[in-house]
Amino acid sequence: MISYRGVGVAFALSGLAGLGLAVVYILGGQPQWEGALLMVALGGIGVGLIGWAKQLYGDSEETDQRPVLPSAVEPRVAFATSLERSEEFSRRRGLTGLLAFAAGSLAVAALFPLRSLGPTPGGTLRRTSWRRGSRLVTEGGGEPLRPDSLGRGGIVTVFPEGVEADEDAATVVINVDPAQLGEGTNAEWVIDGNIAYSKICTHVGCPVGLYREPEHSLLCPCHQSTFDVLDGARVVFGPAPRPLPQLPLGVDDEGFLIALGDYPQPVGPSFWNRGR
Ligand code: FES
């Protein structure tokens, strides 16, 4: 049977583990440590409560067959007074305090995961950094693109000038023969064969960067969704539910390729269809 000292140790360990859990979470989290500390925090409370109950009620079951024999008032008052002063009572207070410490620290640790819910995304999932007049600049180098920068069959990844870190704005520009464009493509947004699509797969968001020129298809390496570049990035194979959005292209006064606005549809996975 666990002694009272053991019960106190179990509650104290549980409390410390709960505080440790909160600290680990604040420092960025570490799944193995979080799991171990949660186990100690919950296990400590469980072991402590079982030990305490056994101390109070003992291990054996006993049945008293006697009728109820109420005590007189004076003896009951005297008993209550002696209980107040007894060691048992002060021990109970101490253990109750430790139990409250263990449960309280666990409750504090449990509050931190609420932070993971984060702020609401608002409209950010529907927009990218592309604006009317944004120049198309290459990844890394930041070189602005001209209509003749790519040879026929060429492909390059671009971002809006000045916000090259916006991954949602990642775009592939491919140079195709304009005479081969299908009905799914908005030909007014194609400049000298340069056509631009979002690089984010509409399945679960992998970068779509593998271009097979003989079939004019863009391939997503994650689950092999394949998009027809000549026909508005229509899905011809794989689990992607919709085409890659096409970026409206134009040319500015200095002859550089620019966007005429943001994508007409949200890029990436079709989150707004969830739950329908
Ligand atoms: S993320 Fe592209 S096919 Fe799954």
Indicate the CATH number for domain 136-273: 2.102.10.10
CB 256 within 8 A of CB 194: no
* pLDDT tens, position by position, 98-109: 889 989 988 888
Distance CA 181, CA 184 (A): 8
Question: What per-residue confidence (pLDDT) applies to 276?
Answer: 45
Bridge partners for 227 per DSSP:
218, 235
For a ligand 1 pocket test, name from 172, 210, 223, 237 the mutation site with the most ligand atoms within 8 angstroms of its C-beta.
223
The percentage of residues in the chain with a pLDDT greater than 70, rounded to a whole number, is 96
Mean pLDDT, rounded, for 222-241: 95
- Show me where the domains of the chain are located: 4-58+75-117, 136-273
* Ligand 1: centre distance to CA 121 (Å): 23
3-class secondary-structure state, position 72: coil
Mean pLDDT of the chain: 89
* pLDDT tens, position by position, 31-63: 889 999 999 999 999 999 999 988 888 777 777
For a ligand 1 pocket test, name from 206, 218, 219 the mutation site with the most ligand atoms within 8 angstroms of its C-beta.
206
The answer to whether the CB of 225 is under 6 A from ligand 1 is: yes
3-class secondary-structure state, position 242: coil
* Ligand 1: centre distance to CA 145 (Å): 28
Spatial CA neighbour of 183 closest among 260, 96, 246: 246
Predicted structure pTM score: 0.62
